[in-house]
């Protein structure tokens, strides 16, 4: 069979482009991008502080959260965000970063020691994790393969763990050579795990794992080599992208979070879900674009954004919803040019949490703590999901409510279903007569969900549009109203077709 020169050229060009795209995607790391930027943009006179306060060990093992909640705290967020952290809603705080050089020497992060963070975490039952970081492939190769460097690294992280009362080690080695991603890395992690546990049996050893296996990774072996994997479920779009899109698309396109969970980590998802933490982004990405349409061509990458800013921006520019990626975004014009920002909020993150929960994952995590600032939305989503409501628990949202409470539905916006939760806390009887209705924006009743007596406690009602006439439910704002004992609470929700 003969091919024309044109056909041969097309095949070669396609292969070349596939190689370039695959290579480019495999090299992307939000951790590295931000690490490099902030390492180069901090003034040296504020990088070291004196603190002789005694560091205390973990005071108790937290048991009031139903899943692990693992957050990275990068050094550039230390000063501004350390007092905004909800330690009651964390199980792990990973201090980022302890840079590792090619010979295994481990260097403290800026502003060290973070005694205030460690002690506050330990007083709240939060495990403190040392994050060992290197993003240079040749340096990592030496750490993995050179026995002197490896032994030095093992000893130095062990010494820091014991000196500063760390409860575990998270290895964030990225941009590995293909030949180092399989058995070489997995054997290294197995040896590290055994070594660390010899000195501290309950210490946790974990790895910051890639979302996509672009080649060379033995993800099953990696999962088996340590206590758990923090899956970096983001950086699907960024500064390198030619079109706009989600940092962590739940669906749409070839690669997305569903693909990560069900294909990339298929063995662990099926056989060892307790060893997987799904990491999500608290940041977004901003571009200049050719049009105002979703997935528009990019003319210029501008910067990353933070949830704390995006949640305010959408109140001015308007919140849009990408039905393919299942994330919010917004757009605006400035100087005659279109700008787009794609980010995650409590609704889109909730959908990812749903997926992790459906697979019985160990938990969820975020890059990074502090990116939400003082905004409560993302903490509220975690609290609603992972901190069971109990009348006898003085630290939860039941404390101080008057008779009952209505929680925000999730996901929101929704299609085709959403969950509505409410709490009955009657101090005079064990049950109450409850009415729960949904109304459209004109006040017309769409459906009655509850009409009868319910016992005290937390209740969840699943609403699906199949429960009503499809013609009644159009894309719009709706209201759900809870009535108990002559008192009423109302919240709004959004249905998007």
State how beta strands 283-289 and 298-306 pair.
Answer: antiparallel
Report if residue 1 sits inside a domain.
Answer: no
Q: Do 99 and 240 lie in a common domain?
A: yes
Phi, psi of 277, rounded to the nearest 5 degrees? -115, 125
Long-range CB pairs of 312-321, under 8 A, 24+ apart, other chains included: 313/341, 320/294, 321/413, 321/496
**Rounded Cα–Cα distance for residues 54 and 52 (Å):** 6
CATH number of the domain within which 470 lies: 2.60.40.1930
Q: Per the domain annotation, does 45 fall within a domain?
A: yes
Domain count, the chain: 2
- Domain of 419? 398-495
Confidence at residue 404, expressed as pLDDT on a 0 to 100 scale: 73
Beta-bridged to residue 191, according to DSSP, are none
Number of other residues whose CB lies within 10 A of the CB of residue 247: 26
Predicted local confidence at residue 372, as pLDDT: 98
Predicted local distance difference test score (pLDDT) of residue 452: 87
Co-location of 374 and 473 in the same domain: no
Whether residue 22 has pLDDT greater than 80: no
What pLDDT shows up at residue 401? Answer: 38
C-alpha count within 13 angstroms, C-beta hemisphere, residue 198: 10
- Nearest CA to 125 among 158, 153, 92, 154? 92
What is the distance between the alpha carbons of residues 369 and 307, in angstroms, rounded to a whole number?
Answer: 11
Which of 215-219, 264-268, 330-334, 491-495 has the weakest average pLDDT? 491-495
The mean per-residue pLDDT over the stretch 308-322 comes to: 97
Tell which residue, 40, 156, 47, has the closest CA to residue 101: 156
Predicted TM-score (pTM) of this structure:
0.76
Within-domain flag for 8: no
Using left for φ > 0, alpha for ψ between -120 and 50, and beta otherwise, residue 135 falls in: alpha
**Residue 162 to residue 390: CA distance in whole angstroms:** 36
pLDDT single digits (tens) 384-431: 899 875 333 334 443 333 457 888 888 888 888 999 988 887 655 566
Q: What is the pLDDT of residue 153?
A: 98
d(CA 462, CA 211) in angstroms, rounded, equals: 31
Judge if 327 and 466 occupy the same domain: no
Query: What's the average model confidence in pLDDT over 133-143?
Result: 98
Interval 242-284: pLDDT, tens: 999 999 999 999 999 999 999 999 999 999 999 999 999 999 9
Residue range 53-81: average pLDDT? 92
**Pair 257, 330 in one domain:** yes
Are 348 and 410 spatial neighbours (Cβ–Cβ below 8 Å)? no
Q: Which residues contact 228 (CB under 8 A, 6 or more apart)?
A: 204, 206, 274, 275, 276, 277, 362
104 assigned to some structural domain: yes
197 plus 327 within the same structural domain: yes
pLDDT tens digits along 340-392: 999 999 999 999 999 999 999 999 999 999 999 999 999 999 998 998 753 33
> What does the pLDDT read at residue 390?
38
Among 358, 384, 410, the domain-final residue is 384
Spatial separation of the C-alpha atoms in residues 194 and 191, rounded to whole Å? 5
Contact 169, 206 (CB under 8 A): yes
Asked whether residue 96 falls in the same domain as residue 229, the answer is yes
Residue 148 domain-assigned? yes
Chosen domain end from 333, 361, 384: 384
Does residue 12 surpass a pLDDT of 50? no
The pLDDT value recorded for residue 20 is 39
Kindly state the percentage of the chain with pLDDT values over 70: 88
Same domain? For 373 and 475 the reply is no
Predicted pLDDT at 63? 79
180 belongs to a structural domain = yes
C-alpha torsion 413→351→376→360, nearest 10:
150
- 181 with 317, same domain: the answer is yes
Residue 52: predicted pLDDT: 74
**Cβ-proximal residues to 208 (8 Å cutoff; 6+ apart), any chain:** 31, 131, 170, 171, 172, 173, 174, 229, 230, 232, 279
356 and 208 housed in the same domain: yes
Is there a single domain that holds both residue 294 and residue 165? yes
Q: What is the 3-state secondary structure (H, E, C) of the chain?
A: CCCCHHHHHHHHHHHHHHHHHHHHHHCCCHHHHHHHHHHCCCCHHHCCCCCCCCCCCCCCCCCCCCCEEEEEEEHHHHHHHCCCCCHHHCCEEEEEEEEECCCCCEECCCCCCCHHHHHHHHHCCCEEEEEEEECCHHHHHHHHHCHHHHHHHHHHHHHHHHHCCCCEEEEEECCCCHHHCCHHHHHHHHHHHHHHHHHCCCCEEEEEECCCCCCCCCHHHHHHHCCEEEEECCCCCCCCCCECCCCCCCCCCCCCHHHHHHHHCHHHHHHCHHHEEEEEECEEEEEEECCCCCCCEEEEEEEEEEHHHHHHHHHHHCCEEECCCCEEEEEEEECCEEEEEECCCHHHHHHHHHHHHHCCCCEEEEECCCCCCCCCHHHHHHHHHHCCCCCCCCCCCCCCCCCEEECCCECCCECCEEEEEEEECCCCCCEEEEEEEEECCCCCEEEEEEEEEEECEEEEEEEEHHHCCCCCCCCEEEEEEEEECCEEEEEEEEECC
| CATH code for position 100 | 3.20.20.80
What integer pLDDT is reported at residue 407 of this predicted model?
86
pLDDT for 2 equals 54
Domain end position, chosen among 384, 413, 447: 384
CB of 94 closer than 8 Å to CB of 388: no
Statement to judge: residues 285 and 346 lie in one domain: yes
Asked if residue 191 belongs to a domain, the reply is yes
| pLDDT value, residue 483 | 87
Report the chain's mean pLDDT, rounded to a whole number: 89
Tell me, yes or no, whether 223 and 335 share the same domain. yes
Distance between CA atoms of residues 168 and 162, nearest Å: 10
pLDDT tens, position by position, 190-239: 999 999 999 999 999 999 999 999 999 999 999 999 999 999 999 999 99
| % of the chain with per-residue pLDDT over 90 | 72
- Asked, for residue 107, whether it belongs to a domain, the answer is yes
């Amino acid at each position: 069979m003969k091919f024309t020169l044109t056909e041969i050229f097309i095949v070669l060009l396609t292969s070349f482009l596939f190689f370039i795209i695959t290579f480019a995607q495999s090299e992307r790391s939000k951790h590295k991008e931000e690490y490099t930027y902030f390492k180069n943009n901090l003034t040296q006179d504020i990088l070291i502080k004196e603190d002789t306060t005694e560091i205390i060990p973990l005071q108790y093992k937290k048991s009031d959260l139903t899943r692990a909640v693992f957050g990275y705290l990068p050094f550039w967020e230390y000063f501004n965000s350390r007092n905004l952290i909800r330690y009651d809603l964390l199980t792990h705080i990973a201090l980022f970063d302890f840079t590792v050089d090619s010979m295994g020497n481990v260097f403290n992060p800026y502003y060290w020691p973070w005694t205030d963070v460690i002690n506050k975490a330990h007083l709240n039952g939060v495990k403190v994790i040392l994050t060992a970081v290197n993003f240079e492939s040749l340096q990592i190769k030496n750490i993995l393969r050179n026995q002197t460097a490896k032994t030095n690294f093992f000893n130095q992280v062990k010494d820091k763990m014991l000196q500063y009362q760390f409860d575990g080690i998270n290895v964030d080695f990225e941009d590995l050579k293909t030949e180092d991603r399989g058995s070489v890395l997995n054997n290294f992690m197995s040896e590290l795990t055994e070594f660390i546990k010899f000195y501290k049996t309950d210490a946790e050893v974990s790895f910051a794992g890639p979302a996509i296996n672009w080649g060379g990774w033995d993800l099953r072996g990696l999962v088996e080599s340590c206590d758990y994997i923090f899956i970096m479920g983001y950086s699907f779009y960024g500064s390198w992208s030619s079109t706009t899109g989600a940092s962590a698309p739940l669906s749409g396109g070839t690669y997305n979070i569903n693909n990560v969970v069900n294909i990339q980590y298929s063995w662990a998802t099926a056989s060892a879900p307790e060893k997987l933490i799904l990491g999500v982004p608290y940041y977004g990405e901003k571009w200049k674009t050719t049009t105002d349409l979703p997935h528009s061509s990019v003319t210029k990458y501008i910067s990353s954004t933070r949830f704390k800013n995006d949640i305010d921006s959408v109140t001015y520019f308007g919140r849009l919803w990408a039905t393919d990626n299942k994330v919010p975004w917004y757009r605006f014009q400035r100087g005659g040019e279109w700008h787009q920002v794609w980010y995650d909020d409590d609704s889109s993150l909730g959908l990812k949490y749903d997926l992790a929960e459906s697979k019985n994952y160990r938990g969820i995590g975020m890059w990074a703590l502090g990116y939400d600032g003082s905004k409560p939305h993302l903490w509220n989503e975690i609290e609603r999901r992972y901190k069971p409501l109990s009348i006898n628990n003085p630290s939860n949202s039941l404390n101080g409510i008057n008779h009952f409470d209505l929680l925000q539905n999730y996901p929101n916006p929704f299609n085709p279903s959403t969950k509505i939760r409410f709490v009955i806390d009657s101090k005079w009887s064990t049950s109450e007569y409850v009415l729960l209705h949904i109304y459209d924006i004109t006040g017309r009743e769409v459906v009655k969900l509850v009409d009868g007596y319910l016992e005290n406690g937390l209740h969840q009602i699943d609403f699906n549009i199949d429960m009503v006439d499809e013609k009644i439910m159009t894309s719009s704002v709706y209201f759900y109203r809870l009535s108990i004992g002559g008192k009423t609470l109302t919240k709004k929700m959004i249905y998007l077709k």
